[in-house]
């Protein structure tokens, strides 16, 4: 039986994890994110981090394929 915490779905993924999922370098993802305005920038303890929803990732996939063609 799964605990409540194990059932929790993540609504956001980090910049590093998003790059890994998309098969992009972190720099490529940062560029696409900056150009498109996708992603949520948060600052905590003096560190900036960008978080992405799965919808953001889908849209970035579309953008990435357009950049290739």
- Is residue 13 helix, strand or coil? strand
Read off the pTM: 0.75
For 30-68, how does the pLDDT look when each residue is reduced to its tens digit (9 = 90+)?
999 999 999 999 998 888 999 999 999 999 998 888 866
DSSP line for 42-69 = EEETTEEEEEE-HHHHHHHHHHHHHHH-
Tens digit of pLDDT for each residue in 10-31?
Answer: 689 999 999 999 999 999 999 9
Contact between residue 38 and residue 52 where contact means Cβ atoms under 8 Å apart? yes
């Amino acid at each position: 039986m799964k605990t409540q915490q194990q059932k929790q779905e993540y609504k956001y993924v980090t910049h590093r994890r998003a790059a890994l999922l998309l098969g992009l370098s972190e720099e490529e993802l940062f560029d696409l994110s900056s150009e498109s305005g996708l992603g949520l920038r948060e600052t905590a303890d003096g560190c900036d981090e960008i978080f992405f929803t799965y919808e953001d990732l889908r849209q970035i996939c579309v953008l990435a394929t357009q950049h290739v063609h």
